[in-house]
Amino acid sequence: MGKNKHKNKQSGKGGKHLEKAGKHNKSSMKSAALFNTKKVSNMSLPRSSGLSSGGKGLSALQQKFARKLEGSRFRIINEKLYTTQGSEAFTDFQSNPSLFDVYHEGFREQASHWPINPLHTIIQWIQKKHKQAVIADMGCGDAELASKVNNTVHSYDLVSKNSRVTACDIAHVPLKDGTVDIVVFCLSLMGTNIVDFLLEARRILKTNGIIRIAEVRSRFEGESDGIKKFTRVLHKLGFDVSGKGNSITSTSTSNSNGKGNDRNMMFFEVEALKTSRQPVVEGGYSAKACIYKKR
Ligand code: SAH
């Protein structure tokens, strides 16, 4: 199930822009409320713009408005994913899979402006250092990772867009305990129950297996030492972030000089090992929503 071996070439992306820092503002409260109402469906979103059918027959001005409409549909779904539990997102996406398409069209548009896509960094890391590892890709999108490495990859997301992907909530994946060498979360710790996702990763990892996380830095900022706090949570859950080879790094976007700086570090990445320590679970941990920039 969701197990694949594929050969492929890797692509790179260029661009220059990124997202706006996430915050629990009025609009995220509003979309949280929307997600808590019965069903997320196109009824609760602006209607489709017609761009998905190629925008044929639309004037330049109509196409401009259509793009804005698609962007707002993406941002509403995005905020909902960040402000609800994974199980609820799973139920809603299963009952309306087109939400996934709208989301991913917008996500790809955003990613096309990033100088570095953290997924590509992870793919290179696997290709160089972990050719034999069995991998679980949690929140895989359309399983780009599985398509670009030769490893066995179990790919999970809310909706299965192709045969590589198994649809599920990543708090409960259909794998036995201690079966994978690496668990990847690339920009996918989206629900409010992050701790459940991390515990699930711990369950399926072999002892000394690696958890590799890439996340949007601004989700963990705004309170003192947000990223340190996140690594302390990882430690409590039985991961070792401090051992040799395990690290926290920042992925910088470039400023106009082509040089990264602290202000525009968009992503951070964590690599940690599963230890045999029993996890200590304390409630109440979550990160902020990531609000993507309007384009
Ligand atoms: N990892 C991919 C996709 C990132 S977008 C990449 O880097 O390109 C985040 C993905 O996480 C989305 O596809 C979303 O559907 C998925 N996701 C978020 N919460 C999830 C959950 N609870 N269970 C399964 N997938 C989830």
CA of 188 to the centre of ligand 1 (A): 4
Give, for 266, the enclosing helix (H) or strand (E).
strand 265-274
CA of 210 to the centre of ligand 1 (A): 19
Give, for 205, the enclosing helix (H) or strand (E).
strand 205-216
Least confident of 40-54, 86-100, 146-160, 200-214: 40-54
Question: What pLDDT, on a 0 to 100 scale, did the predictor assign at position 254?
Answer: 39
Token reading at 152: 């066995």
How does 142-177 read in b/e, with b if 16+ C-beta sit within 10 Å? Answer: bbbbbbbbebbbbbbbbbbbeebbbbbbbbebebee
- Does residue 49 sit in helix, strand or coil? coil
Which are the contacts of 276, defined by CB distance < 8 A and separation ≥ 6?
207, 238
**CA dihedral of 247, 12, 159, 31, whole degrees rounded to 10:** 80
Mean pLDDT, the chain, integer? 79
Q: Quick one: average pLDDT of 92-111? A: 93
Model confidence at 30: pLDDT above 60 = no
Candidate of 77, 157, 212, 266 to mutate for ligand 1, largest count of ligand atoms within 8 Å of Cβ: 157
Q: Quick one: average pLDDT of 73-96? A: 94
Judge contact between 98 and 77, C-beta under 8 A: no
Q: CB count, 10 Å around CB of 227?
A: 17
- In 3D, which of 184, 188, 182, 209 has the Cα closest to residue 121? 184
Q: Quick one: average pLDDT of 216-230? A: 82
Question: What pLDDT, on a 0 to 100 scale, did the predictor assign at position 68?
Answer: 83
CA of 124 to the centre of ligand 1 (A): 20
Burial of 21 (0-12, 13-18, 19+ CB in 10 A): middle
| 119 close to ligand 1 (CB < 6 Angstrom) | yes
Model confidence at 276: pLDDT above 70 = yes
CA of 76 to the centre of ligand 1 (A): 15
Question: What pLDDT, on a 0 to 100 scale, did the predictor assign at position 269?
Answer: 92
Burial of 188 (0-12, 13-18, 19+ CB in 10 A): buried
CA distance 278 to 125: 28
Question: What pLDDT, on a 0 to 100 scale, did the predictor assign at position 21?
Answer: 33
Nearest CA to ligand 1 atom 22: 86
Question: What pLDDT, on a 0 to 100 scale, did the predictor assign at position 283?
Answer: 76
CA distance 290 to 269: 16
Question: What pLDDT, on a 0 to 100 scale, did the predictor assign at position 5?
Answer: 41
DSSP string, 132-180: T--EEEET-TTTHHHHH-SS-EEEEESS--STTEEES-TTS-S--TT-E
| 191 close to ligand 1 (CB < 6 Angstrom) | yes
Q: Are strands 180-186 and 205-216 parallel, antiparallel or unpaired?
A: parallel
| 175 close to ligand 1 (CB < 6 Angstrom) | no
Most confident of 69-73, 153-157, 231-235: 153-157
Give the chain's radius of gyration (CA, Å): 19
Question: What pLDDT, on a 0 to 100 scale, did the predictor assign at position 160?
Answer: 97
Model confidence at 259: pLDDT above 50 = no
pLDDT digits (tens, 9 = 90+) for 143-158: 999 999 999 999 999 9
